[in-house]
Chain A
Amino acid sequence: MTQLALVIDLNVCVGCHACVTSCKQWNTSGSAGPLTDDNPYGSDPSGSFFNRVQTFEVGEYPNTQTVHFPKSCLHCEDPPCVPVCPTGASYKRKEDGIVLVDYDKCIGCKYCSWACPYGAREIDESRQVMTKCTLCVDRITDTTLPASERKPACVMACPTNARLFGDIHDPQSEVSEAIRERGGYELMPEWGTRPANHYLPRRQAD
């Protein structure tokens, strides 16, 4: 069984937000409808994003490190957001493990977003349906694109190659190898959600 996922290398992420903007660009132009903004040029701009880059300072000055931390839906193998959905709009694809929302079935009750410990879901304020990272399902399955481009927009945009994409159930894949050999870990393992996305830790420089 396939489980597509991102593996994000915190050792090389430079916090440039290219993945954020390319995600926004691709997903606002896609077949599933726009990724809308509210008041984008006003004093309190707001909008839906599937991916964000956050920054943390780790350690006590002067021994600190700046860690840039990209955050999107982790496509959990046991996603708590799916069984709580009253309509079945929230679902996990059997063929590749991507967690998706059927925007035509969603009633906008927000319960799935409460049930996600990571805050990976955002309501689309103009359409009033729940939205989330689709792992660019409309890109990665598009056979009219060259095979090298059938990757999520964020992966294509990353200038430092901090974002790897592949099947974590295939032990031979690039992502499985990265998780295995570079200490790939899950976020909030305490809730048993088994996130498919993994993070690669910072490494000691020689």
Chain B
Amino acid sequence: MQPAFSVIFLTVLIGAGQGLFLALFACELGGFGARPDERMLLAQGGAIAVVFNALGLLASFFHLGRPERAWRAAAMWRTSWLSREVIALPLFMASCAAWSAAHALQLPGTRLLGLFGVLVCAALFLCTAMIYASLKFLQEWASPLTLVNFVLMGCASGTTLAALFASVAAVQWVPTLAWAALLLTLAALAARAASLIRNARLKPRSTLQSAIGIRQPVIRQRSQGFMGSSYNTREFFHGKSAQALRSIKWVFLVAGFVVPAALLTSAEPTPALLLLTALIQLAGLVAERWFFFAQANHPQNLYYQAVS
């Protein structure tokens, strides 16, 4: 597929925002937030998570040809994972904002609100991943690993952000959060490696033979029917060489996982170091998501193998 940066930023940013909220709520369950000043910090962290999701939502509008009609996209939630995501994302932002506001106003019931936020957060991860995993003939995406990867990468980057936030606001939580971020980053690396191995072994179910229905071992396309470009030749192929694709794979493995993991093992995680870690990891995950789209091989490409 041709990767769209609008969707890349949408999925990376909301994943990080979701992970940040989950990390903050885990801190609350772990005993943080007993004092009023600690509650203000949770409120601020929650607000940052909302901002990440809002930026992702903003990016998603750039994917639409008719953004002014975006409100219509909530209509078909019975059948469309995309429609479900369109509902789940604002709902998650609202529940995250409600949790933050309850902390800011020193109101009770934040654990209940947070628990609701966790449920909506899980639903949002499911919707986002299923948009891709439900397209069965995009075999690179049609796997439970897509969901596992979206969850783990979101949690890893969000927990790194939480460690960064703690390093400037609540230093006593930095070691715990940095450890959690390290473990999540390593788990995300393992799951992503598993999907890379799976995808390398995939055998395309569609062939030129099934695409045109002719059972002959040797078929060559002589003309795709036009000599210019078309939507079919632009939208479904990344247009880069296999070499470039391999390079980007190593870039995202190193920047998204290996370097952040190494930095998170540092004995003294200062704010500057954690800021560097978060930035490198987010950049690496942008590269990862680019690769995720580029690697998916759409069967329609079988019909566009030769201009003339």
| Chain A positions near chain B (C-beta within 8 angstroms) | 17, 20, 44-49, 52-60, 66-67, 69, 71, 80, 82-89, 105-111, 113-119, 121-123, 125, 127-129, 185-191, 199, 201-202
Contact = CB atoms under 8 A, between A and B. Distances in A.
A113 B222 CA distance: 25
Q: Which of B63, B65, B74, B136 has the most CB of A within 10 A?
A: B65
A46 B212 CA distance: 24
B231 A105 contact: no
Nearest to B208: A56
A201 B216 CA distance: 12
A46 B64 contact: no
B76 A113 contact: no
List of 8 A-B pairs having minimum Cβ-Cβ separation, nearest first: A108-B65, A128-B65, A119-B300, A52-B225, A83-B79, A86-B83, A86-B73, A87-B72
B132 to A, nearest CB: 9
Contacts of A57: 219-222
Contacts of A122: 230-232
Interface string B61-73: 0011111011011
Contact of A114 (B74, B138, B212): B138
B244 interface: no
Contacts, number: 170
Contacts of B70: 107
Q: Which of B63, B79, B228 has the most CB of A within 10 A?
A: B228
B236 A119 contact: yes
B137 interface: yes
26 contacts: A45-B228, A46-B229, A52-B224, A55-B222, A55-B223, A56-B221, A67-B212, A84-B81, A84-B135, A86-B72, A86-B80, A88-B76, A106-B69, A107-B65, A107-B72, A111-B80, A114-B1, A114-B135, A117-B137, A119-B236, A119-B301, A122-B230, A122-B232, A125-B231, A185-B213, A189-B210
B230 A47 contact: yes
Contacts of A110: 63, 65, 235
Given A67-B214, A116-B300, A117-B137, A106 B66 contact: yes
Contacts of B74: 86
Looking at chain B, what size class is its interface with the partner chain?
Answer: 35 or more
Task: Please report whether the interface of chain A is mostly helix, strand, loop or mixed according to DSSP.
Answer: loop
A188 B299 contact: yes
A86 B85 CA distance: 9
Contacts of A116: 300
Interface in B279-306: 298-301, 303-304
Contacts of A82: 79
Contacts of B232: 119, 122
B64 A109 contact: yes
A188 B231 contact: no
Contact of B221 (A55, A88, A127, A199): A55
Given A84-B82, A188-B210, A199-B213, A54 B300 contact: no
B80 to A, nearest CB: 5
B141 to A, nearest CB: 10
Interface string B122-146: 0000000001001111100000000
Contacts of A54: 221, 223-225, 303
B66 A69 contact: no
Nearest to A71: B303
A88 to B, nearest CB: 5
Interface in B199-223: 205-206, 208, 210-214, 216, 218-223
B263 to A, nearest CB: 36
Given A117-B300, A119-B298, A190-B206, A56 B82 contact: no
A186 B65 contact: no
Nearest to A127: B65
B303 A119 contact: yes
Q: Which of A55, A67, A87 has the most CB of B within 10 A?
A: A87
